[in-house]
Structure 1
């Protein structure tokens, strides 16, 4: 039998590449990981991609979602191999909610809508404002490298409602980023109230790039907790 692994799910406009530094830090801790490339066409297709990755891994998993990836792991987390969920500046949605419509409409918003560039059925980002919102606290070279790899997403992703709400039955950790300019911190806190545990970091929306070791630390901690559960490989016998 093999120990649990981390399955990492990116947000809008990104790809599996945005987890590279986190994966390196996880590897240094002896934690196996898989980063999923989402099609970013709609929530159902993205959820299916994560479920397929879990099937292929065939091992207990901690499922980690960043930003929009939180909506995806909320649905995909109902997979029988998922043992824990981690939300990083992410949408921990409830029944009937989408990333464009939660029950917290009265809370402050950010300038993200202003940065969106709609072209038919796709939505891109203004390269200047988008970069500032996503990577405002990152070094200039990190920001430039990331922004060069961003891609448009399908308009339907914003309206997708999770078909399952996994955090109701699966333990979850929410990381709230208090200087976030994409998902307002007050909205993050409201959604994080649904989690089993919450931590707050003073950082912007992209700690995967600005503090990958800290992200890896949280994820590795949850992987270790899962591994220590009775019945898991390497766990101490229950008493």
Structure 2
């Protein structure tokens, strides 16, 4: 069975991918959505790696926003999808790449325990501008506090250097500058551009489902001819 691993970004939860996951599962695709918020980029990457390692074939792995830093460090993916996501190169972190809009920065509030959260009254338009109000309110209600430091983590390997990859630029993004996205997209094998906000998996899930199904079909058609080799080593190969 074809498999997809969906990796959320900062402040988000696996439930934010519910609309995409439901449609893919209905179509017969296995979908796994690991929980991040493990306290560091390395711990988040290890959590996603464990999911990939549990699968019999290399999955298509999608990372959103900060999730791009996470999937950059994994081994054994068949295809990487960066959705308005960070694509760090050697020595780079998501925070170092920049691109966060002034509106997003203004919506971040510090919490007493050192974590940060997003102000509910400000983030709906920034993250979910394509959504009707009830859907945006649902997505905002799922947001959670974020431990400090994850965005400053530096991946220990760079899987896009040896794994087919697709970057999706969200051209109406109010959270990460689309110009920064286009620059990062130059690392990827293929680039798409959608006229969407930062979170099309909420506002326009059909676009995300359609892309993943297209990539799964293309990858599956190659397996019988090329075979499948899972990379289990460490470092950039």
TM-score by length of 1: 0.89
Work out whether residues 227 and 233 of structure 1, in 8 Å CA contact, stay in contact via their aligned partners in 2.
Answer: no
Work out whether residues 34 and 48 of structure 2, in 8 Å CA contact, stay in contact via their aligned partners in 1.
Answer: yes
Q: 1:234 to 1:167 in 2, by over 3 A?
A: closer
Which deviates the most, 224-233 or 45-54? Answer: 224-233
How many residue pairs get aligned? The number is 227
Following superposition of structure 1 onto structure 2, how do residues 1-239 of structure 1 map, counting pairs within 5 Å? 3-76=1-74, 79-80=75-76, 82-102=77-97, 109-119=101-111, 120-231=113-224
* SS state at 2:169 partner: strand
Deviations 1:18-54 (A, max 9, x none): 1111112212433221111112521111101101111
Q: Distance in 1 between matches of 2:173 and 2:73?
A: 24
Where in structure 2 are there 5+ consecutive unaligned residues?
A: 229-237
* SS state at 1:154 partner: coil
Work out whether residues 71 and 98 of structure 1, in 8 Å CA contact, stay in contact via their aligned partners in 2.
Answer: yes
Deviations 1:151-174 (A, max 9, x none): 111111121111111000001001
Work out whether residues 42 and 157 of structure 1, in 8 Å CA contact, stay in contact via their aligned partners in 2.
Answer: yes
Q: 1:87 to 1:222 in 2, by over 3 A?
A: same
Work out whether residues 107 and 119 of structure 2, in 8 Å CA contact, stay in contact via their aligned partners in 1.
Answer: yes
Q: Distance in 1 between matches of 2:162 and 2:194?
A: 26
After the TM superposition, list the runs of 4 or more consecutive aligned residues in structure 1 that deviate by more than 3 angstroms: 107-110, 230-235
Which deviates the most, 31-40 or 195-204? Answer: 31-40
Report the alpha carbon displacement of residue 108 of structure 1 after superposing the two structures with TM.
Answer: 8.3
TM-score by length of 2: 0.89
